[in-house]
Amino acid sequence: MSEVNETPLLLRAARGEVLERPPVWMMRQAGRYMKAYRDIREKYPSFRERSEIPEVAIEISLQPWKAFQPDGVIMFSDIVTPLPGLGIEMDIAEGKGPIIASPIRTQKQVDELHGLEPGESLPFIKPILQSLRSEVGNKSTVLGFVGAPWTLAAYAVEGKGSKTYSNIKGMAFSDPTILHQLLSKLADAIATYICYQIDCGAQALQMFDSWAGQLCPQDYETFALPYQQQVFRKVKETHPDTPLILLVSGSAGLLERMTPSGADIINVDWTVDMAEARQRLGKDMKVQGNLDPGILFGSHEMIRDRILDTIRKAGNQGHILNLGHGVLVGTPEDNVRYFFETAKQADQLLAHV
Ligand code: CP3
């Protein structure tokens, strides 16, 4: 059997094929827990350099691939990367995350935003995705990603990460028309960006609505869900076969409400039992997740037990094994290696228990 002609495991899981073991990758699998990443960061201290110089971004994206051969290779970038292309200048500060010096708070600022021309404002994306595809061939799946409208609007309006989201919630609950216009403009730009990533070689796309879990269910249905739908509907019109994954952090109270988003796969975090998530989402919805990233600070025995437990609960169809959220800074690399090795032997290990 020639490996070269095989469809990678992650795409087979996304199609709903029955598999011997689930594909496995990790969010934030390229990053600070890896020594190789910390070394390259000394040479390129600015995040924008690391993610926007193609050779550097390619090398960083491939560091976990070379070390652990995950079934998914995600490009090294950030959710705020496309914002300058819309007219929202940003930087990513060490230890703090995205900073937007002139937060979007007025009608005039929303009116001045322009549409995204990814080929012009994001010239580094194409060489990055093309190289990743040629490097991993059919042995793994290249993932692209974007931030969702609500989450990008949260950065644009707050100007930085927030614990309370008071500015954007203030806008939502006093001046919703401006916010709806901002969300809709972002949705159009994000859809364009997803299609561009697919055209450049991304085989699956994950949309991070990281801060939508900060909304109560009613407000999720007003400010997050309709714009997730706007993005996914537009992408499916031209790229119906590319699997779309949706992540909301802290989604335990929202799972059923995420299903009408149009996503093919829903990322489940560790605050929900995987068997329960399966029941709540229904048998047709595919899932990704859901180990607590903190487990990777535990013993090998604990890591193995939780992997097998998750796989048993998710079943052998329509499941991508992952953490519920990104791998944490300080995670021992040896435990990440053990996680991948064990996950890849899951079929034999499950047969023996
Ligand atoms: O998964 C991957 O390996 C791809 C890389 C990736 C990064 N950011 C690199 C990065 C991905 C998928 C993201 C998405 C992202 N960025 C999200 C959604 C995921 C989530 O956590 O819910 C969000 C909310 C952001 C915004 C952002 N950018 C934050 C909160 C931070 C961290 C701030 C900090 O220092 O702790 C960033 C910076 C960032 N983006 C880092 C990395 C590896 C860390 C900074 C660094 O390495 O120097």
pLDDT in tens, 311-324: 999 999 999 999 99
**SS3 state of residue 286:** strand
Indicate the fold that domain 3-351 takes in CATH.
TIM Barrel (3.20.20)
**Is the CB of residue 204 less than 8 Å from the CB of residue 245?**
yes
Check whether 32 is labelled as a binding-site residue. Answer: yes
Instruction: Say yes or no to pLDDT of 215 above 90.
Output: yes
pLDDT averaged over every residue in the chain: 96
pLDDT for the residue 1: 42
Q: Which residues line ligand 1 (CB under 6 A)?
A: 27-32, 47, 74, 76, 78-79, 92, 94-98, 145, 161, 208, 210, 249, 326
pLDDT confidence band for 4 (50 / 70 / 90): very low
Per-residue model confidence (pLDDT) at position 154: 98
219 is an active site residue: no
State whether residue 50 is helix, strand or coil.
helix
pLDDT at 2: 42
Identify the residue whose C-alpha is closest to ligand 1 atom 42. Answer: 31
pLDDT digits (tens, 9 = 90+) for 58-89: 999 999 999 999 999 999 999 999 999 999 99
pLDDT of residue 353: 64
The answer to whether 33 is a known catalytic residue is: no
pLDDT of 181 strictly over 60: yes
Which amino acid makes up residue 278?
A: R
C-beta of residue 72 within 8 angstroms of C-beta of residue 54: no
Domain ranges of the chain: 3-351
Arithmetic mean of pLDDT, 188-193:
98
**Looking at this protein, which amino acid is placed at residue 333?**
E
Bridge partners for 288 per DSSP = 267, 320
What does the alpha-carbon distance between residue 286 and residue 299 come to, in Å, rounded to a whole number?
29
Q: What is the dihedral of CA 188, 191, 193, 196, to 10 degrees?
A: -130
92-133 per-position pLDDT tens digit: 998 899 999 999 999 999 999 999 999 999 999 999 999 999
Is residue 163 over pLDDT 50?
A: yes
**Peptide bond just before 267 cis, omega within 30 deg:** no
Spatial contact of 144 and 151, defined as CB atoms under 8 Å apart: no
Q: Please give the share of the chain, as a percent, with pLDDT higher than 70.
A: 98
State the number of CA atoms in the 13 A half-sphere of 129 facing the CB: 25
Would you say residue 352 has pLDDT above 80? no
